[in-house]
Amino acid sequence: MAKLYLVPTPVGNLEDITLRAIRILKEVDLVLAEDTRTSKVLLNHFDIQTQLQSYHMHNEHQLVDRLVEKIKAGLSVALISDAGTPGISDPGFLLVRACLKTGVETECLPGATAFVPALVQSGLPCDRFVFEGFLPVKKGRQSRLEALKNETRTMVFYESPHKLLKTLSDFVNHFGAERQISVSREISKKFEETRRGTLVELHDYFLQKPPKGEFVLVLAGFSK
């Protein structure tokens, strides 16, 4: 059936993919991939021969209308990202919105995403939380942090290794040195690690141990 499938892919261990995801990726006419080289490794591993096309943040605005027309014409399409669920800090929103506006059916499979295991194993309350993804690099960064200063829910952020120390330093300045945080890196990969403590403790730790890998930061909410 012609529709858009949003298919989560493993964030680390390839065994984290679902049987349904493998079947869908084999059955569709086209797979849209954030980085075709990365996705080719995954598809080859599961003997998936479906045609790949590049779809990422630099070309999605140019491609979205054309892709919607292809699906309307009868093509079944799956969208994947390099790791995790499309649309979560990755391309996906624009295409889903365009499909829904024109009556094209969409279907999102459940599956891997990095922040859920990091949140659950953080030891911080996870009954109510707010997902912030990546903070703005420059414009709007300080105002965003200031707006979160009195957020009482647990907060979840993504961060790259070369910006981790700056982000932890900004957190100390806005939330206080003693605010609790859990920092997970390389979720579901060989060198997966989670460290917990105060902001100043984790900042000092990564000063001594240069950050490597992709990070999920789970920050305690404000408490009176």
CA dist 197 and 132 (Å) reads: 20
**Is 128 found in the same domain as 98?**
no
CA 11 → CA 161, 172, 186, 217, distances in Å? 16, 29, 8, 16
Q: Are 113 and 87 in contact (CB under 8 A)?
A: no
Of the three residues 86, 108, 130, the one that is the final residue of a domain is 108
Mean pLDDT of all residues in 81-105: 95
Of the three residues 88, 108, 128, the one that is the final residue of a domain is 108
CA dist 82 and 158 (Å) reads: 15
**Is 76 found in the same domain as 156?**
no
Q: Kindly state the tokens that stand for 200.
A: 């100043």
Q: What is the DSSP letter of 16?
A: G
CATH number at residue 68: 3.40.1010.10
Mean pLDDT of all residues in 183-190: 95
Identify the domain containing residue 57 by its residue range: 4-108
**Is 102 found in the same domain as 142?**
no
Cα angle for residues 108, 189, 185 (degrees, 5° grid): 90
**Is 203 found in the same domain as 132?**
yes
Residue 224 predicted with pLDDT over 80:
no
Of the three residues 93, 108, 123, the one that is the final residue of a domain is 108
**Is 128 found in the same domain as 92?**
no
CA 158 → CA 41, 59, 183, 201, distances in Å? 24, 23, 10, 19
Task: Report if residue 94 sits inside a domain.
Answer: yes
**Is 57 found in the same domain as 10?**
yes
Q: Are 99 and 106 in contact (CB under 8 A)?
A: yes
Task: Report if residue 159 sits inside a domain.
Answer: yes
pLDDT attached to residue 138? 87
pLDDT attached to residue 102? 95
Q: How many CB atoms lie within 10 A of CB 24?
A: 21
Does an H or E element contain 157, and which? strand 154-159
Taking only the tens place, the pLDDT of each residue in 58-85 is 999 999 999 999 999 999 999 999 999 9
